[in-house]
């Protein structure tokens, strides 16, 4: 995967976030996505290189691990550590779950919404059982292909959390981030998150982990509500 230098062309900037720029390109004539983690000038160059390399390696490792678990993620074509870039599969035949939910709400298609919630919940459950948190679970970071396969994208904030106490907190926060994203973005999608949560709980085979995670999730929600009330 890393033996040959990248050959890419037709580069087009799609978006830029706090950590990286995302481009569409052609990689050896194939449609691809190029993700570049850019230099943070406010950090010392040595520190910036070390932090960026660590995060890049973590993203690649957890993208690969998620795929091994059976979760659909973009395939990685090439990594250039010196240029801080990953070239990966362009899922150009897919749509964001955000846009799909909006369409299904307009169509009043509750059956498809329920099926989508089931997919999302079971996918996150699979990830969490492997002690992996995504770190930025929003419906914009989920894609649905033409054949209805759910993909998780953007593992830039993902982490493997083996420590039990830290893991429960991280899993609960992951769920709470998704809940808040859905409430803010899809206000008309009634019961959508509760259906996700039901599928999530059903996918967790370890009864103890399920109970502990849900208890911690309720704690995180309570803290979130308290912060909202305080302002």
CA distances from 79 to 2, 6, 52 (A): 6, 9, 13
CA distance 22 to 37: 9
Angle (CA) 69-75-76 rounded to 5° is: 115
Are the beta carbons of 140 and 96 closer than 8 angstroms? yes
CA distance 55 to 228: 31
* Residue 39 neighbours by CB under 8 Å, 6+ apart: 45, 48, 52, 84
Residue 207 token pair: 């009864």
Which residues does the annotation mark as catalytic? Answer: 136
Task: Give CA 61 to chain center in angstroms.
Answer: 14
SS3 at position 28: coil
């Amino acid at each position: 995967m890393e033996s040959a230098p990248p050959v890419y062309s037709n580069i087009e900037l799609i978006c830029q976030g706090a950590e990286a720029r995302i481009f569409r390109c052609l990689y050896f004539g194939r449609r691809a996505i190029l993700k570049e983690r850019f230099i943070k000038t406010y950090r010392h160059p040595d520190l910036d290189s070390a932090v960026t390399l660590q995060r890049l390696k973590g993203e690649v490792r957890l993208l690969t691990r998620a795929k091994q678990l059976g979760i659909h993620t973009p395939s990685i074509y090439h990594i250039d550590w010196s240029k801080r870039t990953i070239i990966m599969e362009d899922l150009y035949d897919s749509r964001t779950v955000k846009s799909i939910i909006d369409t299904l709400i307009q169509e009043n298609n509750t059956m498809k919404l329920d099926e989508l919630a089931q997919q999302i919940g079971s996918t996150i459950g699979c990830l969490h059982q492997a002690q992996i948190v995504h770190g930025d679970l929003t419906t914009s970071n989920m894609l649905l292909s033409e054949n209805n396969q759910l993909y998780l994208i953007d593992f830039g904030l993902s982490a493997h959390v083996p420590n039990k106490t830290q893991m429960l907190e991280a899993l609960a926060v992951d769920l709470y981030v998704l809940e808040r994203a859905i409430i803010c973005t899809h206000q008309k999608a009634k019961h959508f998150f509760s259906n996700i949560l039901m599928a999530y709980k059903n996918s967790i085979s370890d009864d103890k982990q399920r109970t502990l995670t849900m208890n911690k999730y309720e704690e995180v929600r309570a803290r979130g509500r308290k912060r909202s009330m305080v302002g």
